[in-house]
Amino acid sequence: QKLVQRQTSEFRLIIVSNRQPYIHDLVDGEPQYVVPSGGLTAALDPLMQACGGTWIAYGGGKGDKYIVDRDSRVMVPPDNPSYSLRLVWLTEEEEQGYYYGFSNEALWPLCHNAYTEPIFDLRDWQTYQAVNRKFADLVLDEVGDSPAIVLTQDYHLALLPQYLRQSSAPIITGQFWHIPWPHSEIFRICPWQAELMEGLLGNNLLGFHIGDHCSNFMDAASRTLPVRVDTEYNRIDYQGETTLVRPFPISIDFEDICHLSESVEVEEEMERIKEEWGFSDQLIGLGIDRVDYTKGIPHRFRAIGRFFEKYPEYMGKVVFVQAGVLSRSDIEAYQLLGGQIDRLVGEINSRFGYGDWQPIVYKPDDLPSVTLMALRRLSRFCIVSSLHDGMNLVAKEYVASRFDDDGVLILSPFAGAALELTQSLIVNPYATEEMADAIRDAVTMPSEERRRRMAHMRGIVRENNIYKWAARLLVELMQCARETNFRRSL
Ligand code: G6P
């Protein structure tokens, strides 16, 4: 944490992302805030609280305009103000084309190997360009004349770095791509591949979670534009500028989550759940996901069905709780997934359930964080079955909350987290038989082995926490400042 603060003492830190860390909503006419789900906020909010600065994001909450006057800023978090938040306002049409359209119907499926076909719509693309420019204008306004590090987040803002570079502002630009980067064979189906590539090469530093995504990106760059790629130093030279490409496996605030999971509030919630949900003796399996087709939720349910079919002695003794957070529900692929999940839960529950016992308890209703924490602690195992995932912080949050060193993590090899959490049970979510057996292994694993595996994974996440991620990224950016033309621009 101190290293992060030291790095940002010379420069102001400006984070730019689509999603804001605190969405101001209106409940019964009263402004209230909600923290959005997803890895991005979970990872960056603790960093901003530690070192201050400005976060620029899209103001999409119903209550935002009540709290933040147009063009002004608000200090967040509301109950411990430590950094400022500036919001970009978008029209409904802009939100549709830029967020639902190009970001989530084109780039999201393009970057994830989950067999959902990307939709490349010209109007969405044009809106994406216009909205990226809108973000750039606000960033440049925020920078003014004072040196700043601009750290752009994710796939919603791939063109922003190039727009910033076209100005003469005294900035170093870095971008972290929170999702996978696809193989070049896949990337080249995008009609605007050259424009996207040029946009991203506006960065001094570009970060991905793992080395494979860096290699895919460098390969795609060399096939798309007349660049010079140095694979030894992971750098790309294009039109006289250099972009360093580096892996930075993202993480979480381990100590904070660990501390929260030990609280009395969580203990009380565990008791409440056991009593109200009727979980006295059963072993609990857990899934926590945004309801997204990349997360392999139907695959996991099929494996649970197969588990009860193959090992009927566990009927009535194991229950699987699936917590879901709904997002992007305006998109057809997400609506279809919602229907598929409801049908599968219905089929499995009516086939195996009896009396009061249901094999799957599905809660797609954005459970409060204290309930999620209590569920993590109550569970014997947690399944993360992503078909493709940049990192997957649910896996790391599970590990961080098991201060008792108990619990088994069943993890997909297609999530970046599998490279670090090697003591999980790593299983291909498409292999239903193996997944069903991994569930049996999780419920029968002796306590000594559970503790050994969990203690090992906790050591890794404790060490590779979010502050280390941020410090490595910022150290590398400062290095860029030394090596690039940043001095010239000052
Ligand atoms: C992923 C993305 C984030 C995004 C989150 C939630 O983690 O990498 O950028 O914020 O999903 O998705 P949403 O569309 O609800 O912001």
Residue 490's pLDDT is: 44
CA dihedral of 142, 145, 149, 154, whole degrees rounded to 10: 40
Angle subtended at Cα 459 by Cα 366 and Cα 456, rounded to the nearest 5 degrees: 95
Q: Are 274 and 369 in contact (CB under 8 A)?
A: no
Exposure of 35 by Cβ count < 10 A (0-12 exposed, 13-18 middle, 19+ buried)? Answer: middle
Which amino acid is residue 302, in one-letter code? R
| Ligand 1 nearest-atom number relative to CA 99 | 14
Give the strand pairing for 283-290 and 318-325.
parallel
- Mean pLDDT over 275-304 rounds to 96
| Packed helices 332-352 and 297-310: angle between N→C axes, nearest 10 degrees | 10
- Give the ligand 1 atom nearest the CA of 327: 15
pLDDT at 159: 98
CA distance 112 to 114: 6
Summarised one tens digit per residue, pLDDT across range 417-446 is: 999 999 999 999 999 999 999 999 999 999
Q: Could you tell me the CA-to-CA distances from 382 to 362, 366, 425 in Å, in that order? A: 14, 18, 10
Model confidence over 184-217: pLDDT tens digits? 999 999 999 999 999 999 999 999 999 999 999 9
Structural element, H or E, at residue 235: strand 235-238
Examine the pLDDT at 468 and tell me if it is beyond 70.
yes
CB of 77 shorter than 6 A to ligand 1: no
Q: Is the CB of 19 under 6 A from ligand 1?
A: yes
- In the structure encoding, which two tokens stand for residue 390, read together? 């940049």
pLDDT at residue 480 greater than cutoff 70? yes
Q: Can you tell me the distance from the alpha carbon of 470 to that of 284, in angstroms, rounded to the nearest whole number?
A: 35
In this prediction, residue 354 carries a pLDDT of 96
Over residues 304-346, the pLDDT tens digits come to 999 999 999 999 999 999 999 998 999 999 999 999 999 999 9
Distance of alpha carbon 145 from the chain centroid: 33
Helix (H) or strand (E) holding 148: strand 148-153
Range 62-67, long-range pairs (CB < 8 A, 24+ positions): 62/24, 62/25, 62/26, 63/23, 63/24, 63/25, 63/26, 63/31, 63/32, 63/33, 64/23, 64/24, 66/24, 66/26, 66/31, 67/24, 67/31
User: In this structure, which residue's CA is closest to atom 16 in ligand 1?
Assistant: 19
Mutate to test the pocket of ligand 1, among 15, 22, 37 (most ligand atoms within 8 A of CB): 37
Cα 67 to Cα 2: distance, rounded to the nearest angstrom? 32
Pocket test for ligand 1, best of 102, 178, 289, 291 (most atoms within 8 A of CB): 178
* Nearest to 138, CA basis, from 207, 84, 98: 84
What is the pLDDT of the chain when averaged over all its residues?
A: 93
Q: At what angle are helices 39-51 and 466-483 packed, to 10 degrees?
A: 70
Instruction: Give ipTM to 2 decimals.
Output: 0.98
Atom of ligand 1 nearest to the CA of 104: 14
> CB of 179 closer than 6 A to ligand 1?
yes
CA of 105 to the centre of ligand 1 (A): 13
Mutation choice for ligand 1 from 34, 154, 181, 213, CB with most ligand atoms inside 8 A = 154
Ligand 1 centroid – CA 21 distance (Å):
11
* Token output for 206: 């570009």
Q: How far is the centre of ligand 1, averaged over its atoms, from the C-alpha of 393 (Å)? A: 12
Say which residues have a Cβ less than 8 Å from residue 321's Cβ, sequence separation at least 6.
284, 285, 286, 287, 360, 361, 363, 375, 379
- In which residue are the tokens 């789900």 written? 37
Q: Which of 4-8, 197-201, 220-224, 435-439 shows the lowest per-residue confidence on average (mean pLDDT)?
A: 4-8
